[in-house]
Amino acid sequence: MNIILLQSKLRLEDIDKLLNEFPQFLFLSLTEETCHQLSPEQWSRVEILYGSYLSKDELSHAHQLKWLHLPSNDHRHISLEAIKNKGNTLITDTLPPNINQLAEFVVTGILSFAKNLYHWHEAGKFPGLIWDCKWKESMWEIRNCKLLQIGLDSIGTEITKQCRKLGMNVWGVQEKRTFHPYCHKTVSTSNLHSILPRMDIVILSMPKGREYKDYFGKAELELMNKDAVLIVVGNNKAVDERALGQTLDKGKLRGVLIDAYEETPLATNSPLWKRPNVIITPDISTSPEEAEIQSFRTFRYNLRQYLHGNINDMNNLVNTHSPKTI
């Protein structure tokens, strides 16, 4: 009897459903730490892994591993290259939960900077001057603002959809220029620098992989409009933190919103914490979320397809032969 190793925590009622529907497998529910203590012989019996962590050494012993299901869309703790080289191993992941809420979070950030909401608490220090407050004169109407969405996966698509409904002029950037249903115009990444100076709002929603660290750096920040807004969700390491601080020191950018990924927050001594026009939140853009429930549903559906050999009907198959779409 081959093993399905449940590395990610599931509810007891969900484990019971798996046991009843798939008696042909032996289900082992172990923590990540315990999984690392498995012997090579035990790894050799694992046919399916439900989890986020798999080292190259463990993979080398998992001779019967046919399928890896990730409970999120975070691929950082597995080696796609090693799995590709091994061959005959499927990978599926789970789409980000509550992308509608994430898009709403982005829109909230845009509106707060457009209306200077982060400044108005200062007006209370001089209540006699509130009616002549300079922040009234620089408020935006977001209709027709030029918005650039960098990354047009499922998250970027939802952001562009909601922003277009609000009347913004939506542009998109992806590896290759193609049609997008919610963008007025799309450009390839090679043309990013030529359009940055014209954008009022720039949104980065990059996958949470190391390969995107400092994707948006000094050169890109210097090209941004002086009064532009920058919003970063998904992978906060995609923007060069040091270069961003230097850009703000020059008086550039109307506002910055960074939804810092909980495992890689901004450094405690980062000067960005003290910036009045920088809002930093702890990976809350998709909250409240039900990632575990969504992941289990995807896994259970895919397990049915796997058993019947309907590989092409499995949801969220990851292509190890091409880079992740942005």
82 and 141 co-located in one domain: no
Residues, the chain, total? 326
118 and 57 co-located in one domain: no
Count the Cβ atoms, other than its own, within 10 Å of residue 16: 11
Amino acid 265: pLDDT: 76
Higher pLDDT, 197 or 32: 197
Q: Find out whether 180 and 172 touch, Cβ atoms under 8 Å.
A: yes
Bridge partner list, 27:
4
Q: What are phi and psi of 17, to 5 degrees?
A: -65, -40
The model's confidence at residue 111, banded by pLDDT at 50, 70 and 90, is very high
The model's confidence at residue 274, banded by pLDDT at 50, 70 and 90, is confident
Residues 6+ positions from 260 with CB-CB distance below 8 Å: 236, 266, 280, 281, 282, 283
Amino acid 125: pLDDT: 77
Q: Answer yes or no: is pLDDT of 323 > 60.
A: no
Domain count of the fold of the chain? 2
SS3 for 322?
coil
> Distance between CA atoms of 113 and 230, rounded to whole angstroms?
10
273 and 142 co-located in one domain: yes
Higher pLDDT, 50 or 271: 50
Amino acid 207: pLDDT: 80
Average pLDDT of the segment spanning 141-161 = 93
109 and 256 co-located in one domain: yes
What percent of the chain is modeled with pLDDT above 90? Answer: 62
Q: Find out whether 63 and 38 touch, Cβ atoms under 8 Å.
A: no
Q: Find out whether 31 and 50 touch, Cβ atoms under 8 Å.
A: no
77 and 104 co-located in one domain: no
SS3 for 294?
helix
Average pLDDT of the segment spanning 11-22 = 93
> Distance between CA atoms of 203 and 226, rounded to whole angstroms?
16
Sheet holding 278-281, edge to edge: 185-188, 169-174, 146-150, 201-205, 229-233, 255-259, 278-281
Which amino acid, one-letter code, is at 299?
A: F
Residue-wise pLDDT tens digits, 227-262:
999 999 988 889 999 999 999 999 999 999 999 876
Lowest mean pLDDT among 6-15, 178-187, 205-214: 205-214
The model's confidence at residue 307, banded by pLDDT at 50, 70 and 90, is very high
- Do the domain assignments include residue 190? yes
Range of the domain at 77: 3-95+290-313
- Do the domain assignments include residue 322? no
In what helix (H) or strand (E) does residue 29 lie, and over which residues does it extend? strand 26-29
136 and 82 co-located in one domain: no
Q: What CA–CA distances, in Å, run from 29 to 8, 12, 62? A: 8, 10, 17
Nearest to 109 by CA among 281, 238, 247: 281
The pTM (predicted TM-score) of the whole model is 0.68
Residue 15: give its domain's CATH number: 3.40.50.720
Count the Cβ atoms, other than its own, within 10 Å of residue 239: 24
Residue-wise pLDDT tens digits, 48-107:
999 999 999 999 999 999 999 998 878 888 988 899 898 899 999 987 667 888 999 999
Q: Answer yes or no: is pLDDT of 326 > 60.
A: no
306 and 251 co-located in one domain: no
24 and 108 co-located in one domain: no
Q: Answer yes or no: is pLDDT of 211 > 90.
A: no
> Distance between CA atoms of 58 and 81, rounded to whole angstroms?
14
- Do the domain assignments include residue 318? no
For 319, half-sphere exposure in the C-beta direction (CA atoms, 13 angstrom radius) is: 6
Q: Helices 291-307 and 12-21, interaxial angle, to 10°? A: 10
